Structure 1
């Protein structure tokens, strides 16, 4: 018999599973392993997502792990950036990239990249530029391709070709160069790993997702993985009793109850989540409830992210980093009591400590102005 859980219980389970309200994991790479792939198109915000779940409490500590290759930043699962452990890169790409790449034909035509052999030629030239661990930024690759007389130089077409090269498993991230992302050859920075057949890989990816993100639905997994609902149901049938099925507001969810740690008595009561944090982005079906007087932005804005207090979405925040300080601007529901406002300020202080900067805190009133960058 399938048991029922209410929304608050499901949200509490997710927070514990993702190590936000339970004991943190030792390293940032451990967090990436737990979540399998962590969306990271806003890299520095995503570094904070890893710190929130681990004992790597500063930006510098998380960056050291990244630059040492403990986890990679690359396009995987969907045509956007994710963190992934090196040992998981190849088999996940082999499983998920064919479907993603098949959907790019129209974009190739739009960018004038549909000439036979053009994509392969430029990706081959890029690989040669990186050979020998010559880590290069996108700008440096564009400059070198122009010098070589390549048909593709700096610009949007190059960015798209680098994405394709990542999805094919040719290139991935190298160590950061100042604030800039660099590229490396996968075969030079990722050790060989055993191959998996498609059925085995599908079951393993589903197991990892529902263990690290559960309770979650079929729709949650298909959004995250880019795989089909049919594939997902096949994997769930194969997993059988390894996962528990529960009903949440009429929706079937799956998770591994044995993988849920205990809530820590030291767990925060408020969080400033980055826009693309896995606990915010992953669940289009059942997410955090919003305060009735939530000060929503006029339109979706990636620079204003969720403020969570006692399991409730109570407002929006953004940060502006300067040399010695970080300004954190929050907009909170007017009904939020003083004690909960104080816990939000404490969450802002944690962010400042992560960045090793003084906090300039502003609790402004009203709806955030649209970003005009």
Structure 2
């Protein structure tokens, strides 16, 4: 680690990845970290695929089981399943929910291409969220039950099927679903069979209220830079699906609390005073699941997904997370897939290069760890992965 000609720190990519591995629990398996602590360090665990979210947490612990993660979510309520960054489903630390709400509500809204005639007005959004909060105050409802309650409380306009989604049309009120999560009116409850349910986070966080905007944004930016920094406003905007101009303004407004550094000659930012970096790369082999936070949040893509990795493990649009990846020393070095049959867990790993003896040994350990987490007997095969990307 050296000083650049401008006086800031000059860092190599290997130093940056080494710190990210440490900060996100991917260097060594923690012997004591609990699920909520792990999720806080990641700035949330993407939970579009529930089993993947659980493994994102479990692979960072030495002895955590899938049951312990489920208990943290549904019994202890130290985790909450709700809408997080990008309006996508995440597991968040319950104690941080007021901070998340304050920060996410401060991001300029995205209309996702919906025309003005289709979108909810601000007044309609408020009405829908009020109806959702009232319907879920002391119960759990499926999406159909919640839809009936919202339409009954607001009017037929809320039930007009105008929102394209998954080869179907959803009722208009569902445009406010993520905003309902941001405002604390809604979170996910345990499934009823195969059906998703929703409930109120105030059932286990009675004093919930969004934190004031500036304080919440300071917390979120510093948390992001701690886990994924150094980073640029563009990286932060992409992580949140927020306007780049808004992110630049935020970085500028908080410039006194940030510090410029150079990464491979490019300017980036870290939290002021938080500029300790390893002097060399770290050796580790990890099997990251769909949408693991390390892959989704880390930039730059061309360095994280070098060569064949970009072609094999990114979507054509450059989106990360749609493939489970083999991570070697913080860099994407392969893809993998799992299939469970009874007590057997068959894991196929496709490395992009020949594994060293040490890497193969660590991969074997990672496979055994996954088997223990899922209470299954794992079997490893090295070879082509034919499974496609997750939508």
Q: TM-score range by the shorter chain?
A: 0.7 to 0.9
* Partner residue, 1:127: 133
* Partner residue, 1:137: 142
Q: Distance in 2 between matches of 1:177 and 1:238?
A: 49
Q: Distance in 2 between matches of 1:254 and 1:117?
A: 39
> How far off is 1:75 after superposition?
1.1
Distance verdict in 2 for CA 1:218–1:144, change over 3 Å: closer
Q: Distance in 2 between matches of 1:280 and 1:291?
A: 16
Tell me the SS of whatever aligns to 1:131: coil
2:82–2:181 contact (8 Å) kept in structure 1: yes
Q: Distance in 2 between matches of 1:145 and 1:222?
A: 32
Q: Which string of whole-angstrom CA distances, capped at 9 and with x for unpartnered residues, describes residues 10-54 of structure 1?
A: 111110111211462520101222233333222221121112223
Q: Distance in 2 between matches of 1:351 and 1:39?
A: 18
Q: Which string of whole-angstrom CA distances, capped at 9 and with x for unpartnered residues, describes residues 265-289 of structure 1?
A: xx97211112311211112326435
Q: Distance in 2 between matches of 1:268 and 1:325?
A: 29
| Match 1:20 to one of 3, 23, 26 | 26
* Partner residue, 1:290: 306
* Partner residue, 1:60: 67
> How far off is 1:128 after superposition?
3.5
| Match 2:54 to one of 47, 57, 67 | 47
* Partner residue, 2:10: 4
Q: How many residues align?
A: 362
| Match 2:182 to one of 137, 149, 167 | 167
1:221 aligns with 2:226: no
1:206 aligns with 2:211: no
Q: Distance in 2 between matches of 1:136 and 1:354?
A: 30
2:228–2:298 contact (8 Å) kept in structure 1: no
1:104 aligns with 2:111: yes
Tell me the SS of whatever aligns to 2:291: coil
- Spell out the pairing of 1:181-192 with structure 2 (5 A cutoff): 181-192=196-207
1:361 aligns with 2:384: no
Q: Distance in 1 between matches of 2:115 and 2:371?
A: 42
1:277 aligns with 2:284: no
> How far off is 1:342 after superposition?
4.1
State which drifts further: 121-130 or 28-37: 121-130
Q: Distance in 1 between matches of 2:354 and 2:310?
A: 9
State which drifts further: 55-64 or 210-219: 210-219
Q: Distance in 2 between matches of 1:302 and 1:249?
A: 24
Tell me the SS of whatever aligns to 1:8: helix
State which drifts further: 203-212 or 337-346: 337-346
- Spell out the pairing of 1:224-243 with structure 2 (5 A cutoff): 224-225=239-240, 226=242, 228-235=247-254, 237-240=255-258
Q: Distance in 2 between matches of 1:296 and 1:65?
A: 34
Tell me the SS of whatever aligns to 1:83: strand
- Spell out the pairing of 1:312-327 with structure 2 (5 A cutoff): 312-327=331-346
1:38–1:278 contact (8 Å) kept in structure 2: yes
Structure 1, unmatched stretches of 5+, are none
TM-score, normalising length: structure 1: 0.81
Q: Distance in 2 between matches of 1:293 and 1:201?
A: 36
Q: Which string of whole-angstrom CA distances, capped at 9 and with x for unpartnered residues, describes residues 137-179 of structure 1?
A: 3354346668999653996336544233213331112345456
Tell me the SS of whatever aligns to 1:174: strand
> How far off is 1:181 after superposition?
4.1
- Spell out the pairing of 1:70-85 with structure 2 (5 A cutoff): 70-85=78-93
Tell me the SS of whatever aligns to 2:359: helix
1:347 aligns with 2:366: yes
CA RMSD of aligned residues (A): 3.6
Q: Distance in 1 between matches of 2:349 and 2:28?
A: 25
1:317–1:331 contact (8 Å) kept in structure 2: yes
Tell me the SS of whatever aligns to 2:189: strand
